[in-house]
């Protein structure tokens, strides 16, 4: 029997959080080995564990995978969250790329200098309200189904709901004008595996605070 995936990252959200969400939604238990210091990161590099000298790193099925999208695609394929054919996978990838564009702004937001944080926050609000959320609302409306692609749960649905949670932490009113996104969030959040992940003391990480920002800078900069 294959062992649990082992996730190597700092004890924060960053680019590993989407991987945690996907594994949790698929009902896959995983272990985490936190990178606590600069020396921990350098050891992984010096031991040849990081192909491109950067994390996330996931050990799974005898492999040591890096690069977030490669890791996500592997798990999506492995757990039947990647559509039934090439056309569905193309749509899932397209939606995922849009989600990743906005999510990147949110990942970086806590690490912005105070002088640019306000502008960064305004950019997140503008792109969410006027570009990405209307697009996903339109997709759901166009086919009237429960999920984005093929009326079956995919990695795009999971990542979109993760994004909704993260944006709502910054602006609790931001999805009130998007009833289909609200319904998708409720639907995904009610899945037993996701519901468990959303409970306190799960492996889901809290929002990044000032102390976390300082620690991450000490490790990676």
- Report the CATH number at residue 184: 1.20.1050.10
Same domain (yes/no): 90, 177: yes
Same domain (yes/no): 91, 175: yes
CATH number, domain of 21, equals 3.40.30.10
Which H/E stretch holds residue 127? helix 114-127
Between CA 32 and CA 203 the distance in angstroms is 9
Q: pLDDT in tens for each of the 221 residues of the chain?
A: 468 999 999 999 999 999 999 999 999 999 999 999 999 999 999 999 999 999 999 999 999 999 999 999 999 999 999 999 999 999 999 999 999 999 999 999 999 998 899 999 999 999 999 999 999 999 999 999 999 999 999 999 999 999 999 999 999 999 999 999 999 999 999 999 999 999 999 999 999 999 999 999 999 87
Same domain (yes/no): 145, 102: yes
Asked if the structure places residue 48 within a domain, the reply is: yes
Asked if the structure places residue 144 within a domain, the reply is: yes
The number of distinct structural domains making up the chain is 2
Same domain (yes/no): 164, 103: yes
Kindly report the pTM of this predicted structure: 0.95
Asked if the structure places residue 220 within a domain, the reply is: no
Same domain (yes/no): 54, 106: no
Same domain (yes/no): 24, 116: no
**Predicted local distance difference test score (pLDDT) of residue 2:** 63
Asked if the structure places residue 62 within a domain, the reply is: yes
Q: Is the dihedral of CA 36, 51, 103, 180 positive or negative?
A: negative
Centre a 10 Å sphere on the Cβ of residue 94 and count the other Cβ atoms it contains.
14
Asked if the structure places residue 142 within a domain, the reply is: yes
Centre a 10 Å sphere on the Cβ of residue 132 and count the other Cβ atoms it contains.
21
Same domain (yes/no): 141, 62: no
Which domain range does residue 207 map to?
6-79+197-211
Between CA 65 and CA 68 the distance in angstroms is 9
Same domain (yes/no): 168, 202: no
Asked if the structure places residue 1 within a domain, the reply is: no
Asked if the structure places residue 127 within a domain, the reply is: yes
Same domain (yes/no): 186, 103: yes
Asked if the structure places residue 216 within a domain, the reply is: no
Same domain (yes/no): 68, 113: no
Answer yes or no: are the C-beta atoms of 70 and 45 closer than 8 Å. no
Collapsing DSSP to helix, strand or coil, 60 comes out as strand
Same domain (yes/no): 66, 92: no
Same domain (yes/no): 45, 135: no
């Amino acid at each position: 029997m294959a062992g649990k995936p082992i996730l190597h990252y700092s004890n924060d959200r960053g680019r590993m959080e989407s991987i945690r969400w996907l594994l949790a939604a698929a009902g896959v238990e995983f272990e985490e080995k936190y990178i606590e210091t600069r020396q921990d990161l350098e050891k992984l590099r010096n031991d040849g564990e990081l192909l491109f000298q950067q994390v996330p790193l996931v050990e799974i099925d005898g492999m040591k995978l890096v690069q977030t999208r490669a890791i996500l695609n592997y798990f999506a394929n492995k757990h039947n969250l990647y559509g039934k054919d090439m056309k569905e996978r193309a749509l899932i990838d397209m939606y995922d790329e849009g989600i990743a564009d906005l999510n990147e702004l949110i990942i970086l937001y806590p690490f912005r200098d105070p002088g640019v944080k306000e502008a960064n926050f305004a950019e997140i609000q503008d792109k969410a309200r006027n570009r990405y959320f209307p697009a996903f609302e339109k997709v759901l409306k166009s086919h009237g189904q429960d999920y984005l692609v093929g009326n079956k749960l995919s990695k795009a649905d999971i990542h979109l709901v993760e994004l909704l949670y993260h944006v709502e932490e910054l602006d609790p009113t931001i999805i009130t004008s998007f009833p289909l996104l609200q319904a998708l969030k409720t639907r995904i959040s009610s899945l037993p595996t996701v519901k468990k992940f959303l409970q306190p003391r799960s492996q889901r990480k809290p929002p990044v605070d000032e102390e976390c920002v300082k620690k991450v800078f000490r490790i990676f900069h």
